[in-house]
Chains A and B, each alone.
Chain A
Amino acid sequence: MIDRRPWLTVLSHAVMLIGVLIVAFPLYLAFIASTHTTQEIVQAPMPLLPGNNMWESYKAALFGSGKLGSNTTVAHMMWVSFVTAMVITVGKIAISLLSAFAIVFFRFRFKMLCFWAIFVTLMLPVEVRILPTYKVVADLGMLNSYAGLTLPLIASATATFLFRQFFLTVPDELVEAARMDGAGPMRFFWDVLVPLSKTSIAALFVIQFIYGWNQYLWPLLMTTSEDMYPVVIGIKRMVAGGGDAAIDWNVAMATAILAMLPPTFVVVLMQKWFVKGLVDTEK
């Protein structure tokens, strides 16, 4: 790190380039595949330059139905994914903000117990509690619904913890000044805490949106009706079964590219805020 030797620079750049290639090549391949017809893709060697079937592939993916392994369009699946991701994200942020607010600024019995109860759930991954969760959701009749898709994923120990750490840095005098100004707890929350946490909120928004968008296992278990499939499951169903020949690779790849777009958008749009939220705290 301290040495500045030319060959080290070359080496480090080479390593980075190789890394980028490894990550980017499959994406490139997916994009190329989405611009050809299935017949062209299954030929060996597969073409590595864009074809001229792009429009048809994407149209088939977005609006076509029937032969794609499910009867719904990708447009609809993306809508389901989007709603799920948004509800999870907004819900997580809202609940975490409120619970961190309670834990940091109020004195009540068993406060530490509450904090640890929340904190301990960090140690339990979704997979561990997936069967009981399924049972609860099924008994509540929430299978195949947005509520069932989102509610079990909304509680977040990570986000609560993050907001707690941030709230702890808010000086006591600020809280007291708000009290002197006559601001009640919720007023203080909305007028002071939320504006101060907006960078953390932005960072969490990015992380949680991608988390919500990429949910696979949970929707797989609890959706049986095709019109509740998120796009991630849609892709899986398009490439499953029937052998190579029966799969519309161009449409599947177009779907994959489409599925990547919303998270990319969120990251690009909120990048500035995201970095700010992780790096500095405005005080």
Chain B
Amino acid sequence: MASITLRDIVKRYGIGPKANEVIHGVNAEIQDHEFVVIVGPSGCGKSTLLRMVAGLEEVTGGEILIGNKVVNNLEPAKRDIAMVFQNYALYPHMSVFDNMAYGLKIAKVPKDEIKTRVDKAAKILELGQLLERKPRELSGGQRQRVAMGRAIVRQPQVFLFDEPLSNLDAKLRAQTRLEIQKLHRELGITSLFVTHDQVEAMTLAQRMIVMNGGHMEQFGTPEEVYHQPSSVFVASFIGSPPMNLLRHAPGARPGTLLGVRPEHLDVGTDGWEVTVDTVELLGAERLIYARLDGEPLIVRVEEGTLAPRPGDRLHVAPRENRLHWFNADTGKRI
């Protein structure tokens, strides 16, 4: 078991003035046994960050520590980590057993020890019947489990997940999410999980790193990220539908943005007067797309309440304790 420390991590491609900097100094401290999710839109550098921890990308600047040891120049295999890839990266010509055992074979683990470890992992992941199969004879979900099994048998200090659920269908994804949570509870191995899906991030993370454009925007528990987003970006990225950001809200000081989530607006008799554009029914709830003095505003109401029609005028009141103020220039929380 180990903690992971990122100190001023910088990644640049190329050298000299033409160099392209993609990660601009990330600092984070991941505790032992913690499950941390890195989330952000595509191209934000989250995968690059993970690959640097894995040792698949060189670190241009800063230090990565795993268990208080600087690992910048260590080969991936020497970092005592295991990684689950997006496309699983199973060896197509090897059986499930050999896929899981390969790393151990190279590490010269004795044969019977390999067998015990693989059998144990197969039992946890319910792969017992499939050990002799080739990867192409498995379904997507089973392949995903083999990839996790390959990580488990190495008994590493750290698990790295690179969008492991993005190739699964929605149902399987939800199920695997639960399995990963269960696995983490049982094994308690420090984990770093990269995803672009905020639902995955919110449900899996003990703490999450929200990244944007190579910067770490916020590092905190899902509650903190949801209730106190540190910037406009985090506010609009986490939560679905995204937070409303109003420049000309009633009572707003110039140079500020008022953020209020759609679920924190109540339709009633007082408050802001808005004009309804469109209404969407999502099942348990209804989304009202409206305008407040020309600015778009989304309101989320329960399905049971009255459904407004386009063109209607409504009064909505934001909940006072759920307002977020941001600096309009820097985007930072005030």
Decide yes or no whether B91 CB sits under 8 A from chain A. Answer: yes
Decide yes or no whether A236 CB sits under 8 A from chain B. Answer: no
Which residues of chain B are near A181, meaning CB under 8 Å? 77, 102-103, 106, 150
Q: Is the CB of A182 within 8 A of B103?
A: yes
Convert B75-110 into 0s and 1s, putting 1 for each residue whose CB lies closer than 8 angstroms to a CB of A.
Answer: 111100111011111111100000000110011000
Give the secondary structure class of B's interface.
loop
Chain A residue with the shortest CB-CB distance to B108: A182
Decide yes or no whether A13 CB sits under 8 A from chain B. Answer: no
Q: Which of A187, A191, A196 has the most CB of B within 10 A?
A: A191
Chain B residue with the shortest CB-CB distance to A172: B89
Q: Is the CB of B87 within 8 A of A173?
A: yes
Interface size on B, residues (CB 8 A): 24
Decide yes or no whether B276 CB sits under 8 A from chain A. Answer: no
Q: Report Cα–Cα, A197/B20, bound state, in Å.
A: 37
Decide yes or no whether A127 CB sits under 8 A from chain B. Answer: no
Convert A170-194 into 0s and 1s, putting 1 for each residue whose CB lies closer than 8 angstroms to a CB of B.
Answer: 0101101111111100010001100
Chain B residue with the shortest CB-CB distance to A194: B93
Q: Report Cα–Cα, A179/B76, bound state, in Å.
A: 6
Q: Whole-angstrom distance from the CB of B77 to the nearest CB of chain A? A: 3
- Of A179, A183, A282, which contacts B92 at CB under 8 A? A282
Known: A181-B77, A182-B77, A196-B93. A173 touches B85 (CB 8 A): yes
Interface bracket on A? 10 to 19
Known: A171-B87, A173-B87, A187-B106. A180 touches B93 (CB 8 A): no
- Of A173, A183, A282, A283, which contacts B106 at CB under 8 A? A183
Decide yes or no whether B44 CB sits under 8 A from chain A. Answer: no
Chain B residue with the shortest CB-CB distance to A182: B77
Q: Whole-angstrom distance from the CB of B314 to the nearest CB of chain A? A: 51
Which residues of chain A are near B70, meaning CB under 8 Å? none
Q: Is the CB of B89 within 8 A of A283?
A: no
Which residues of chain A are near B90, meaning CB under 8 Å? 177
Which residues of chain A are near B93, meaning CB under 8 Å? 192, 195-196, 282
Which residues of chain A are near B78, meaning CB under 8 Å? 182
- Of B81, B89, B103, which contacts A174 at CB under 8 A? B89
Q: Is the CB of A171 within 8 A of B89?
A: yes
Q: Report Cα–Cα, A178/B83, bound state, in Å.
A: 11
Q: Is the CB of A173 within 8 A of B89?
A: yes
Q: Is the CB of B91 within 8 A of A174?
A: yes
Which residues of chain B are near A195, meaning CB under 8 Å? 93
Q: Whole-angstrom distance from the CB of B57 to the nearest CB of chain A? A: 10
16 pairs across A/B with beta carbons < 8 Å? Answer: A173-B87, A173-B88, A174-B89, A176-B54, A176-B89, A177-B90, A179-B55, A179-B75, A180-B77, A180-B103, A181-B102, A182-B75, A182-B76, A182-B106, A183-B102, A196-B92
Interface residues of B (CB under 8 A from A): 54-56, 75-78, 81-83, 85-93, 102-103, 106-107, 150
- By Cβ-Cβ distance, the 4 closest A-B pairs, closest first, are A182-B77, A181-B103, A173-B89, A177-B89
A171-B87, A176-B89, A282-B92 known; 20 other A-B pairs, CB under 8 Å? Answer: A171-B89, A173-B89, A176-B54, A176-B85, A178-B91, A179-B55, A179-B76, A179-B77, A180-B56, A180-B81, A181-B77, A181-B103, A181-B150, A182-B77, A182-B78, A187-B106, A192-B91, A196-B92, A196-B93, A282-B93
